[in-house]
Amino acid sequence: MKKFNFKKYFLPISTNFIIITMLLCISMLTLISPVRSVYAPQSENLFYNGNTENNKISLMINVYSGNEYLIDMLNTLKEMNVKATFFIGGVWLDKNPELFLSIVEGGHEIGNHGYFHKDHATLNYQQNQTEILSTHKLVKEYANINMNLFAPPSGSFSSTTLEAASDLGYKTIMWSKDTIDWRDQDTEKIISRATNKLANGDLILMHPTYCTAISLATIIEKIQQKGFVLSTVSQNI
């Protein structure tokens, strides 16, 4: 009489049963608690780019330093009749109110870049709101502007950051193109990163640096030559 092979028949059945059970559990958990990623390409209050159905592109300039280059950038924007969105750091504004008002007088959009340039992904709800509100109140005091755009320092945020910003009436703004001008003082790299493979709704991140200041006119020309319209972030999203 042939001996029954327990391993041959039972183990494959039990293994398949375990796999099917695990898959069913995962499916049930997904239905009960949908996973939300703060790094999704776009959501109601989180933007990595503007409206891809139009031909607008925005220059985003984060300001925490670079005073010596900021005036040159403002002059270039004025000469070329371009409006940008400046995301202002509260610490910088406290020390440079007159320079801040030069940005406002140039007709540029003002956004919020937090107060102390903290890592917002590590902050709790109240700490996130304190950073945003501190700068909001300063801008309101100096220029009577109610901002509603928040660019987290270093692009670092969490779901808590998004919630805190949204509850204050803010949209969180990231970028689709990063010049990395704070690190690489190379005009060719900065121009290339800003203008290579341009697309509708692009948000181009830059800072007041020496190389950005001398590259800005070329960046604007290349964008316009490709048929895009430069606008503020609010007009883009």
pLDDT of 33 strictly over 50: no
The predicted-structure confidence for 53-96, as pLDDT tens digits, reads as follows 999 999 999 999 999 999 999 999 999 999 999 999 999 999 99
Long-range residue pairs from 118-122, CB within 8 A, at least 24 positions apart, any chain: 118/153, 119/153, 119/154, 119/156, 120/152, 120/153, 120/156, 120/157, 120/158, 120/161, 121/152, 121/156, 121/157, 121/158, 121/161, 122/156
Q: Which residue has the tokens 């109140």?
A: 137
- Position 43 scores a pLDDT of 65
**Strand blocks (E) in 89-134:** 109-112
pLDDT single digits (tens) 2-17 = 444 544 444 454 555 5
pLDDT, position 141: 97
pLDDT reading at 30 higher than 70: no
pLDDT band at 44 (very low <50, low <70, confident <90, very high): confident
Q: What is the pTM of this model?
A: 0.82
pLDDT in tens, 187-234: 999 999 999 999 999 999 999 999 999 999 999 999 999 999 999 999
Q: Output helix, strand, coil percentages for the chain, rounded to the nearest 5.
A: 50, 15, 35
AA letter at 203: L
* Tens of pLDDT, residues 143-183: 999 999 999 999 999 999 999 999 999 999 999 999 999 99
C-alpha–C-alpha distance, residues 212 and 218, integer Å:
10
SS3 178: strand
- Look up residue 146 and give its two tokens: 């109610």
In the chain the domains, ranked by start, together with CATH numbers, are 42-236 (3.20.20.370)
Tell whether the model's pLDDT for residue 25 goes beyond 50.
no
